[in-house]
Amino acid sequence: MESFHGTTILAVHHNGSMVIAGDGQVSLNNSVVKHHARKVRRIYNDQIAVGFAGATADALTLSEKLEGKLERYNGNLIRAAVELARDWRTDKYLRRLEAMMIAVNASEMLLISGNGDVIEPDAGVLAIGSGGIAAQAAATALLKHAEALNLTTREIVEQSMKIAANVCVFTNNVVTVEEF
């Protein structure tokens, strides 16, 4: 059976700015089949941005479910995420979905998983996907020196995504960025 691999999604909150980015590569086994996939998108009247890793159809289903929860809870991201995670964990159909999601607004950043996890990071950096570890490490290092290097949050994210693309074969330099 053929399988899709890889993605890198990175979110950084720094100096009152929230930026989320995702690479554009889609791989099928050992081949790149798409270079410009959009794995980060805005939902809920452009007030929330989500980035996803995993099966595309599953991720889009989860994005739609999250948007429904956001509408139900008047844009309360944390409440909507908890309710989505609860449904994801307990619903027979949703449990089979294979994806992870980062959801952000101007001030909150959450990792939502099918295990029922809703995690808000301590350090203002969150990443998922095959290049996630490299992107998160790069962003963490750049954040420590952001003032000295005079880097904006967007520049930290863009540089971190470039680093991830240089070390992860399932991540490319075609990046979608959303900023709050």
CA 126 vs CA 23, 51, 65, 168, 179: distances in Å: 15, 11, 21, 17, 15
Are residues 41 and 49 in contact, defined by beta-carbon separation less than 8 angstroms?
Answer: yes
Of 7, 153, 171, 176, which residue is the catalytic one? 7
Distance of CA 161 to the CA centre of its chain: 12
152 is catalytic: no
Nearest Cα to Cα of residue 165 among 19, 24, 12: 24
Q: Indicate which residues carry an active-site annotation.
A: 7
